Structure 1
Amino acid sequence: MDGTRRASFGAASARCDRRRAPRDQRGNTLIEALVSFLVFALGLLAVAGLQQRLRLDADIARQRSEAARLGVGEIEGVRAFAQLASAPGIGSFDAIGAHLRSVDRVGGHALNTRYRIERRVEHAGAALKTIRVDVGWSDRFGTTRNLALDTLVARSAPELSGALVLPRTGPTLRGARARSAIVPLGARDLGDGRSVFKPGESGVLAYVFDNVSGDIVARCTVDTATPTRSLTAAALGDCDTLRGLLLSGTIRFSAGADPAAANDAPLPLEVTLALTGGRYPAAATCTTEATKSVQAELGGVLQTTLVPLPATPASLGASRWLELGERFVAYHCVIEPLASGRWSGRLTLRLAGWRIGNANTERRVCRYSPDLDGSGAIDRPIEHPASYVDVAEALSQQNYLVIPGDRSCPDGVASNGALATLPHQP
Structure 2
Amino acid sequence: MRGLKKSALQSGIALLETLMAISVMGFGLIAISKFQGNMVRNTSFVHEQNLAIKAAESKIEEMRSFQTLAVTTGMTSYDGIVTGSDTVTSGVVTFNRSWTVTPRTSPGLFKEVIVSVTWNDAQNLGRTVQISSLIQGFDPKTLASVIRSYAPPGNPVQPFNRVLKVPIPAIIDPTDPTKSIYTPPGAPSVNIRLDNTTGLVTSLNGIATTNTTFLLSGYIGFGSGSTSPTVTPTSNIDFRLVNAATGIPLSGYTCWDDSATTKAYAGYITYTCVVETNGTILIGGVDVPVWSGRMRLTLGGATAEPYGWGLTSSTDRICRYTGTENTYLNIQDTLASQNYIAIQGNRYCPSGTTLFQP
Tell me the TM-score normalized by structure 2.
0.42
Q: Larger Rg: 1 or 2?
A: 1
Tell me the TM-score normalized by structure 1.
0.36
